[in-house]
Structure 1
Amino acid sequence: MPQPQLTRAPFGALPDGAAVARWILDSGTGVRAEVLEYGGILHRLEVPDLSGRSDTVVLGLADLAAYRADTAYLGALVGRYANRLAHGRFTLDGVTRQVPPNDRGHALHGGPDGFNRRLWRATPQPGPEAAALRLDLRSPDGDMGFPGTLDVAAVYTLDRHGTLRLDLTARTDRATPVSLTHHAYFHLGGPGRGDVLGHRLAVDADAYLPVDAESIPLGAPTATAGTAFDLREPRVLAERIGQDDPQLAAAGGYDHCFVLAPPPGPGALRRAARLHDPRGGRRMEVWTTEPGLQVYTGNSLDGSLRGPDGKRLERHAAVCLETQQFPDAPNRPDYPDPVLRPGTARHSTTEFRFPHLSARAEER
């Protein structure tokens, strides 16, 4: 059986001359991932369908210049605080902090110069059973208004089974809120094949967080039962998005955090979501240790971005399944505490699994 491999290729250079590399993780069994040092971006994730045809299942852009101009966070590592902070403000240990607003007067994904715009330091971690790449980033004290120097390590691992795993670890020298996520846009049919409204999505959540007109949580979780947010069984996205629901109407689709059940033990993974493209047969499962899953159906994609093939990325061209802490949690004492303090580490794991590959293997 072929060994997993990790190789490096140039991708471009930043205005200051710093080179940006593209790292290729190859499972040896048909799945390949391409990760950029800029933004920790998952540039491509090639997965065979049931017929054996391989294509990338994540949206990407043509070159480094396009990623530097991108405001949709395509494929990026996101921080220091994923999702939204109301008015960009929070009070921690009696001190009020201000993060520069970048979304309707609120701070989104860590502010206008978040981790998606940073050059991460890459270290290959090859092994006999998986290809792995470690990316490191230091966020200095006061970065985007956040207190404390934060050291973040992100490890992408692609194993023989085609599972892509992302381990995120953060440490700080002062108390600071932390919520890290990965912002891949998934289309299991492959880019350029229309929207994802024909995909079937299931989310393992009994509750979600309703939001106001500016996507800030209103308060306590609401039960999904009997609503358009009941995705405990697979549902065709078009059928759910088309329902008469004020939450869907305000966001133009899903852009909501689902409340996941507690994991079975410390550091244990539990399934958060399932996604299926009936046309090509690809299936994906998301497993995580995080308490929330933001489901975003690409409502703001407007054709201004183009993929590497030159085709415009239109509304609902993909769906994001972002594992994370709850939005605006630093301002919500009733939400899980997102504050990281010195002497401890915040660690999360998320896996993207493709169970249809096992079915193909059994058929062979």
Structure 2
Amino acid sequence: MGTRFSRRTALATGAAGLATVGFGGVSAAATGKPPSVSKEYFGQADGEAVYRYTLESGRGMRVRILSYGGIIQTLEAPDRHGHTANVVLGFPTLADYVAKNSPQAGGGVYFGALIGRYANRIAKGTFTLDGKVYHVPVNNNGNSLHGGLVGFNQKVWDVTEIRGGLRLSLTSPDGDQGYPGTLHATVTYTLDQHNRLTIGYTATTDKPTVVNLTNHTYWNLAGEGSGDVYDQKLQIGAARYTPTDGTQIPTGQLAPVHGTPFDFRAPTAIGARIRDHDPQLLIGQGYDLNWVLDHPGSLLPAASAFDPAGGRALTVLTDQPGLQFYSGNFLDGTLVGTSGKVYRQSDGFALETQHFPDSPNHPSFPSTVLRPGQTYRTTTAFALGVL
């Protein structure tokens, strides 16, 4: 087992660890009120009480997280004028999440949710581990997506308040959705006075298994419900990406981004090339691909986004090898968000830190195998600032 499942990484606390890649953004200074956590009842799912927790940074950022699915329901942050807005997509009620955030309901948009056991796709819902073939539910173009029919996004997690945040715990039994081993997963959300939300993931198993956890938040830095994100600029620290077949399964190639619509090494408007006649854009009906990050294994800036109108800037730091950029292509005008406005195509974008899609079927990809006695451990941070 490589260091990807055993390395402990520390997030830099100086200004360099907060600056946005390519945009020169400035995060909030570590002054003001200390971070706080509060709790309220939010409803019931599968007969279990669901609570909503509010994390406040003391510097104008407020995050609401549900025990159902570990969902980031809202994230409020100020713009350059000090105006605060919710910059993530979500639903106003628990009933909406239960009915519309799951593949069984024909939705599967996964707003703000924790994804597991395996984020992204596994080809034909089949993989081989130690000579044994496993089958997991097929729920997306003949493949398994985001953990199957009942993934971690539909579970009520146990939540404990910790300093500056929350610790969420979930046990996935042996055979859950076809995956081997009893998996004990823990996710921490912490919000600091720099307006930085850090997500730490750990997991252990009692049998060899595969695991790939992420968070599926959709961002709109101009404000949720404000329209499309085409004018917002994106930068990804990746010289290569993983092309896919017609069902969005990687071919195994690590292709260069140079000269393609997938070159975000310099800040580029999301909509600048989204309508180019490229086969990969046609398959995903927009951007929906995995980028091979240049510096995996250490918690470093991997991507940044910026809204020129309001000045909000987002930096994504991660130790993961991949980043799935999804431009909200299948938001079809049938979902009503937290503001009461309808979400249409590309009204938000997702930056999912992860291992590569279908890694269990590609020995050349970084391994997602977790064995007894090992600990899956990874960290991602979202730092909000302004220009």
Report TM bin, short chain. over 0.9
What residue is the counterpart of 2:40 in the other structure? 9
Q: What is the alpha-carbon distance in structure 1 between the residues aligned to residue 184 and residue 254 of structure 2?
A: 32
Alignment map for 1:72-151 (pairs within 5 Å) = 72-126=109-163, 131-151=164-184
Q: What is the alpha-carbon distance in structure 2 between the residues aligned to residue 250 and residue 105 of structure 1?
A: 15
Q: What is the alpha-carbon distance in structure 2 between the residues aligned to residue 250 and residue 109 of structure 1?
A: 19
User: Aligned residues: percent identity?
Assistant: 47
Q: What is the alpha-carbon distance in structure 2 between the residues aligned to residue 73 and residue 147 of structure 1?
A: 24
CA contact (8 A) 2:158 2:168 kept: yes
What residue is the counterpart of 2:255 in the other structure? 222
1:319-346 per-position Cα deviation (integer Å, ceiling 9, x unaligned): 1000001100000001001100110101
What residue is the counterpart of 2:93 in the other structure? 63
| 2:380 matches 1:350 | yes
CA contact (8 A) 2:220 2:229 kept: yes
| Matching residue within 179, 201, 209 for 1:168 | 201
**Secondary structure of residue in 2 paired with 1:122:** strand
Cα displacement (A) at 1:192: 1.5
| Matching residue within 267, 275, 284 for 2:314 | 284
Alignment map for 1:238-257 (pairs within 5 Å) = 238-257=271-290
Which structure is higher in RCO with an 8 Å CA cutoff and minimum separation 6? 2
| 2:69 matches 1:36 | no
CA contact (8 A) 2:232 2:307 kept: yes
CA contact (8 A) 2:45 2:156 kept: no
Name the aligned partner's letter for residue 317 of structure 1. Answer: D
| Matching residue within 323, 329, 338 for 2:359 | 329
| Matching residue within 176, 181, 193 for 2:214 | 181
Cα displacement (A) at 1:354: 1.9
Name the aligned partner's letter for residue 171 of structure 2. Answer: R
Name the aligned partner's letter for residue 191 of structure 1. Answer: E
Cα displacement (A) at 1:105: 1.1
Normalised to the residue count of structure 2, the TM-score between the two structures is: 0.89
Q: What is the alpha-carbon distance in structure 2 between the residues aligned to residue 121 and residue 319 of structure 1?
A: 28
**Secondary structure of residue in 2 paired with 1:239:** coil
Name the aligned partner's letter for residue 61 of structure 2. Answer: V
**Secondary structure of residue in 2 paired with 1:33:** strand
**Secondary structure of residue in 2 paired with 1:66:** helix
| 2:354 matches 1:317 | no
Q: Gaps spanning 5+ residues in structure 1: where?
A: 360-364
CA contact (8 A) 2:37 2:161 kept: yes
| Matching residue within 337, 351, 360 for 1:307 | 337
Q: What is the alpha-carbon distance in structure 1 between the residues aligned to residue 339 and residue 33 of structure 2?
A: 30
Cα displacement (A) at 1:305: 1.3
Q: Once superposed, what is the RMSD of the aligned Cα atoms? A: 0.9
**Secondary structure of residue in 1 paired with 2:124:** helix
What residue is the counterpart of 1:269 in the other structure? 299
Cα displacement (A) at 1:257: 0.2
Q: What is the alpha-carbon distance in structure 2 between the residues aligned to residue 225 and residue 295 of structure 1?
A: 17
Cα displacement (A) at 1:262: 3.2
Q: Which runs of 4+ in 1 moved over 6 A?
A: none
Cα displacement (A) at 1:15: 4.2
Cα displacement (A) at 1:10: 1.1
Q: Gaps spanning 5+ residues in structure 2: where?
A: 1-31, 102-107
**Secondary structure of residue in 2 paired with 1:141:** coil
| 2:81 matches 1:51 | yes
Q: What is the alpha-carbon distance in structure 2 between the residues aligned to residue 146 and residue 192 of structure 1?
A: 37
CA contact (8 A) 2:89 2:338 kept: no
| Matching residue within 229, 232, 235 for 2:265 | 232
Cα displacement (A) at 1:224: 0.5
The size of the alignment, in residue pairs, is 349
Q: What is the alpha-carbon distance in structure 2 between the residues aligned to residue 5 and residue 309 of structure 1?
A: 24
